[in-house]
Amino acid sequence: MTSSARTSALLAASCVGALAFAAGVPAASASASPNAAPTADDRPSVRVIGGTDANLSTTPWFLQFAPKNGGGGASLCGATKIKKRWAVTAAHCVSTPSGIAKVGAGKSFVLANPSTRNEGTRYYLDYIVVNPKYNPNSAANLNDIALLRMSKKLPGGTLKPNADKSQTVAGTPSAVYGFGERIADKPSSVATVLQEGQVQDLIGPNDPACGSYGKNYHPSTQLCAGLPAGGIDACQGDSGGPLVATVGGKLRLTGIVSSGYGCALADYPGIYTRVSTYAKWMSKYTTGKFNITSNCKGSSCKVKRGNQRKIKLKNLTPNKGSYKVWANKKKLVSIHNAKGVVWGNEAAKAKVKVTTKKKKCVKVKVKASGTPKKVFKISTNSNNRC
Ligand code: 4AZ
């Protein structure tokens, strides 16, 4: 095979996990056996990762991710916690030619920094955002990034995505984490304990070449990491997991395990999604923003008994958000639509009706996703001022 034919075959092979997942077959099934060292028979050419057991106290942001239509509790992918309720993974972990992984109770879930594979509390997803440029039907696997939102806050710390496009430079020590195969093409070799592989970013952000991949490597959106001689690498089942490095003195998420030709082979390093390319896109979705307005001019207005003050909540982001409206003197008002969910770029209305004749000043507080708390004052009687 020519080297370019071989590379295409190889990149196509890297999508086997995604295709198997689409068909409902676990790409890497759970192993009952502990992390036994590979035997001499297993070892020679493609010993996966070449990692060591991770120190879990240093990886609070690591998530084991089980997309629903991908084989129940088996670990198909890794993910990284970037905000209390948000994680990032590879698009190919959730988006397949047959559709997007299922969200909601009892469906796709993550395990927060599990001490052992498949163990720990399940945190279910309520929202998935696949990068719009990702094409599940393309073997090239470009723009392989997706955001996952959990229905409740995850425990543990977060890891910030690297937003500095000039980083990391060639030779930067980096670490990759996952529960994937420790021996290539051997599903039973998946790790029982989280593995850490010490690799390097092999090229700088402006260097077009990555090992022998030629034009199949895209430097502006991908990152090439491994060791020049191979031997340590991510492999099947590690997809979606983090590549981390120190940037400007701080630990950052620099890559997401995406694809590669085999595992740990010389000249075929791991290919990662370059996180800095997507940093803006990620923060647009994970930060959220509402515009909160009211039908009354100024911060305080008079509302007579039986009348209402309307509060309009416009979700300025493309992702789903939620809001809550409450009053400090609950008995004097009734609130219609006091809480709710607002889909991307849509609006909701809450109404605060005055139910008392008393002269009071009521503070109505509004909190919406990603937006500072806002306070409106209502004078419940025309004679009263706030
Ligand atoms: C995979 O199929 C896969 N050696 C992940 C990473 C690498 C290769 C394959 C990198 O999920």
Q: Does 319 share its domain with 263?
A: no
343 and 319 in a common domain: yes
Give the burial class of 41: count Cβ atoms within 10 A of its Cβ; 0-12 exposed, 13-18 middle, 19 or more buried.
Answer: exposed
The pLDDT confidence band at residue 6, using thresholds 50, 70 and 90, is very low
Residue 385 lies in a domain: no
Q: Which atom of ligand 1 is nearest to the CA of 268?
A: 4
Interacting residues of 203 by C-beta distance below 8 A, sequence separation 6+: 170, 209, 210, 219, 224
Answer yes or no: is 6 within a domain. no
CB 239 near ligand 1, within 6 Å: yes
Examine the domain organization and report whether 305 and 278 are in the same domain.
Answer: no
Residue 193: inside a domain, yes or no?
A: yes
pLDDT(9) > 70: no
**Of 286, 317, 341, at which residue does a domain stop?**
286
Looking at residue 70, its pLDDT comes to: 53
pLDDT of residue 128: 93
For a pocket test of ligand 1, which of 65, 199, 235 has the largest count of ligand atoms closer than 8 A to its C-beta? 235
| 218 included as an active-site residue | no
Query: For 313-356, what is each residue's pLDDT tens digit?
Result: 999 887 788 999 999 999 999 999 999 999 888 999 999 999 99
Q: In this structure, what is the dihedral angle of CA atoms 171, 177, 180, 183, given to the nearest 10 degrees?
A: 40
pLDDT, tens digit, 9 for 90 and up, residues 149-194: 999 999 999 999 999 999 999 999 999 999 999 999 999 999 999 9
Altogether, the residues listed in the chain come to a count of 386
Centre of ligand 1 to C-alpha 235, Å, is 4
Which of 25-29, 166-170, 202-206, 327-331 is predicted least confidently?
Answer: 25-29
* Ligand 1 near 234 CB (within 6 A): yes
**Do 271 and 305 reside in the same domain of the chain?**
no
Among candidate residues 286, 302, 326, the one where a domain is terminated: 286
| CATH number where 336 lies | 2.60.40.10
Question: Which protein residue's CA is at the shortest distance from atom 1 of ligand 1?
Answer: 236
pLDDT at 31: 30
Q: Ligand 1 centroid vs 341 CA: distance in angstroms? A: 37
Cβ of 17 closer than 6 Å to ligand 1, yes or no, is yes
In this structure, are 374 and 226 located in the same domain?
Answer: no
Mean per-residue pLDDT of the chain: 85
Give the alpha-carbon dihedral of 71, 262, 256, 322, to 10 degrees: -20
Average pLDDT over residues 305-313: 94
Identify whether 33 is part of a domain: no
Q: What is the 271 CA–ligand 1 centroid distance (Å)?
A: 8
Same domain, 116 and 211: yes
**With bands split at pLDDT 50, 70 and 90, how would you rate the model's confidence at 289?**
confident
Residue 104 lies in a domain: yes
Residue 270 inside a domain? The answer is yes
270 lines ligand 1 (CB under 6 A): yes
Residue 386 in any domain: the answer is: no
Higher pLDDT, 6 or 60: 60
* Angle, vertex CA 190, rays to CA 187 and CA 193, nearest 5: 170
Is 235 near ligand 1, meaning CB less than 6 Å away? Answer: yes
Q: Is residue 3 part of a domain?
A: no
Boundaries of domain holding 347:
288-380
The CATH number covering residue 82 comes to 2.40.10.10
Integer angstrom CA distances of residue 226 from 117, 125, 253: 24, 31, 16
What is the pLDDT at residue 284? 82
Nearest CA-CA partner of 238 in 49, 72, 380, 69 = 49
The pLDDT value given to residue 98: 86
* 83 in the same domain as 175: yes
Question: Lowest-pLDDT range, 8-17, 52-61, 205-214?
Answer: 8-17
- Give tens-digit pLDDT for 226-239: 999 999 999 999 99
Of 297 and 46, the one with more pLDDT: 297
Task: Name 294's bridge partners.
Answer: 311
Q: Which of 242, 263, 286 is the last residue of a domain?
A: 286
Domain shared by 129 and 251, yes or no: yes
CB 288 within 8 A of CB 321: yes
One domain for residues 323 and 353: yes
**Residues 244, 343: one domain?**
no
Whether 357 and 320 share a structural domain: yes
CA–CA separation, 386 and 383 (whole Å): 10
Q: Which range among 204-208, 244-248, 347-351 shows the weakest confidence by mean pLDDT?
A: 204-208
Question: How many domains does the structure of the chain reveal?
Answer: 2
Flag whether pLDDT at 21 surpasses 90: no
Q: Which of 155, 153, 132, 150 is nearest to 142 (CA)?
A: 132
What is the per-residue pLDDT for 237?
Answer: 94
Q: Percentage of residues in the chain with pLDDT exceeding 70?
A: 85
Q: Tell me the best of 93, 176, 216, 236 to mutate to test the pocket of ligand 1, counting ligand atoms within 8 Å of each CB and taking the most.
A: 236
The pLDDT of residue 344 is 82
Nearest residue (CA) to ligand 1, atom 4: 263
Query: Are 254 and 372 in a shared domain?
Result: no
Instruction: Compute, in angstroms, the gap from residue 262 CA to the centroid of ligand 1.
Output: 7
Looking at 14, 31, 108, 144, which residue is catalytic?
Answer: 144
Convert 126-159 to b/e letters by CB count within 10 Å (16 or more is b): bbbbbbeebbbeebebbbbbbbbbbeeebeeebb
Number of the ligand 1 atom closest to the C-alpha atom of 48: 4
